[in-house]
């Protein structure tokens, strides 16, 4: 087998491979060249080398993986970590081909992060050297129950009961921010660096730069909006929202405060801005991996729909299980990933 980076000429073969690997319908969005070009081949200032790699045998692609840069800052050092997206193996490939690809890509960086995955993937991870840390929680709340009713992917007999439940859920608790708080639309370079996530002795955080948000804004598959959170006119945090396939997403949020009620306000403002920006948004989804943020998320009316450990392969020198990671949707492909079809979580 040959391990090599890909080029745009590989696009049809990669799309076919991932369609078979993930058992998707023909003509899915893996076949969208603009989207794959953005993910795989468009230059990024935070990663200078190739990002899309394959194993090939006699002209046939057997496995594929794409680097999603995710630099991690700890209290004493920085790791050039990545998240491996679009990691798939052809069903006819020899056993272990996907793991072999992962290890070849791991040699290019300090660590690989993984969250969730299939039941088989989760069983394999510890055996090949992935180590678990704190949990990454996904949560959701309905925004427009009637629109959700009209477009929901599950059309069974439970749907009327679902719309009643979601109507009550979307109305309570009330998503009203206290006086003095507001979200101000801005460019990423208008957010003070002091508001980016900062590591401490017990918390490692992803690196944030204006360049990253500018790259996200060029996605052909999702829309993004950036906000500075202000309290009585003073910058208090930031918020990034995305929208795809009927779903608004809290792509990223951070406040230096560890007061859960401040985080509740941030999520309340996210709900209000999602409603204002996207009339097609029927629900909103958010993620969190720190205790004070998760408490604020649930106080804002979100309910946890999935919880998975954050795992890393590599990460030499990290303090250990006593330390936690703050990760958000933009640290992987969660803020833009979709199949092109409605897939509500509520």
Distance in angstroms (rounded) separating the CA atoms of residues 86 and 301: 32
Find out whether 334 and 145 touch, Cβ atoms under 8 Å: no
pLDDT of residue 114: 93
Taking the C-alpha atoms of residue 12 and residue 75, their distance in angstroms, rounded to an integer, is 43
Average pLDDT over residues 137-160: 88
Q: How many whole angstroms separate alpha carbon 299 and alpha carbon 288?
A: 13
d(CA 15, CA 30): 5
Length, in residues, of the chain: 346
User: Residue 132 corresponds to which tokens in the numbers above?
Assistant: 């678990």
pLDDT above 70 (res 180): yes
pLDDT in tens, 78-108: 899 999 999 999 999 999 999 999 999 999 9
Cα separation, 105 vs 60, whole angstroms: 19
Q: What are phi and psi for residue 165, nearest 5 degrees? A: -60, -45
Cα–Cα–Cα angle for 153, 299, 328, rounded to 5 degrees: 65
CB 237 within 8 A of CB 195: yes
What is the architecture, at CATH level 2, of domain 2-109?
3-Layer(aba) Sandwich (3.40)
Q: What is the residue extent of each domain of the chain?
A: 2-109, 137-331
For residue 64, give the DSSP letter. E
Put simply, whether the predicted model's pTM sits higher than 0.85 gets the answer yes
* Tens of pLDDT, residues 211-263: 999 999 999 989 999 999 999 999 999 999 999 989 999 999 999 999 999 99
**Rounded to whole angstroms, how far apart are CA atoms 250 and 271?**
9
Point out which residues pair with 79 in neighbouring strands. Answer: 72
The stretch 134-161 carries a mean pLDDT of 89
Report helix, strand or coil for 277: helix
User: Which listed CATH number (3.40.630, 1.25.40, 3.30.450, 3.40.50) goes with 137-331?
Assistant: 3.40.630
Residue 91 CB contacts under 8 Å (≥ 6 apart), including other chains = 20, 21
Q: What percentage of the chain exceeds 90 in pLDDT?
A: 71
Report the percentage of the chain scoring pLDDT > 70: 99
pLDDT at 118 over 80: no
Q: How many whole angstroms separate alpha carbon 145 and alpha carbon 162?
A: 9
Do 2-109 and 137-331 show the same overall fold? yes
Average pLDDT score, the chain: 92
Strand partners, 288: 137
Short-list 198, 228, 193, 234, CA closest to 210: 193
Establish whether the linkage from the previous residue to 130 is cis, with ω within 30° of 0: no
In this predicted structure, the answer to whether residue 120 has a pLDDT above a threshold of 80 is: no
Residue-level pLDDT at 321: 53
Which residues are CB-contacts of 162 (< 8 A; sequence separation ≥ 6)?
A: 149, 152, 154
């Amino acid at each position: 087998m040959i391990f090599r980076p890909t080029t745009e000429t590989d696009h049809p073969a990669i799309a076919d491979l991932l369609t078979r690997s993930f058992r998707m319908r023909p003509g899915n969005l893996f076949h969208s060249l603009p989207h794959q070009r953005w993910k795989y081949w468009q230059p990024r200032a935070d990663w200078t080398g190739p990002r899309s790699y394959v194993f090939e045998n006699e002209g046939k692609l057997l496995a594929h993986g794409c680097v999603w840069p995710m630099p991690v800052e700890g209290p004493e050092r920085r790791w050039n970590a990545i998240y491996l997206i679009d990691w798939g193996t052809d069903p006819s490939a020899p056993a272990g081909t996907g793991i072999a690809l992962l290890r070849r890509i791991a040699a290019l960086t300090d660590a690989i992060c993984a969250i969730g995955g299939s039941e088989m993937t989760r069983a394999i991870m510890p055996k090949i050297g992935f180590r678990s840390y704190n949990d990454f929680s996904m949560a959701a709340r309905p925004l427009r129950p009637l629109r959700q009713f009209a477009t929901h992917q599950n059309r069974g007999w439970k749907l009327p009961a679902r719309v009643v439940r979601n109507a009550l859920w979307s109305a309570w608790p009330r998503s009203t921010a206290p006086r003095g708080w507001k979200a101000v639309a801005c460019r990423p370079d208008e957010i003070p660096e002091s508001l980016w996530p900062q590591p401490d002795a017990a918390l490692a955080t992803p690196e944030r730069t204006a360049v990253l948000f500018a790259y996200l804004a060029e996605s052909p598959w999702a829309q993004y909006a950036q906000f500075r959170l202000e309290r009585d006119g003073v910058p208090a945090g930031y918020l990034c929202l995305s929208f795809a396939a009927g779903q608004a997403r809290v792509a990223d949020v951070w406040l230096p405060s560890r007061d859960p009620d401040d985080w509740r306000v941030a999520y309340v403002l996210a709900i209000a801005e999602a409603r204002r920006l996207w009339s097609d948004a029927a629900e909103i989804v958010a993620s969190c991996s720190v205790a004070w943020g998760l408490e604020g998320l649930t106080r804002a009316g979100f309910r946890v729909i999935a919880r998975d450990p954050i795992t890393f392969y590599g990460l030499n020198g990290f303090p250990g299980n006593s330390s936690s990671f703050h990760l958000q949707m933009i640290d992987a492909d969660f803020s833009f990933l979709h199949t092109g079809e409605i897939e509500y979580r509520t």
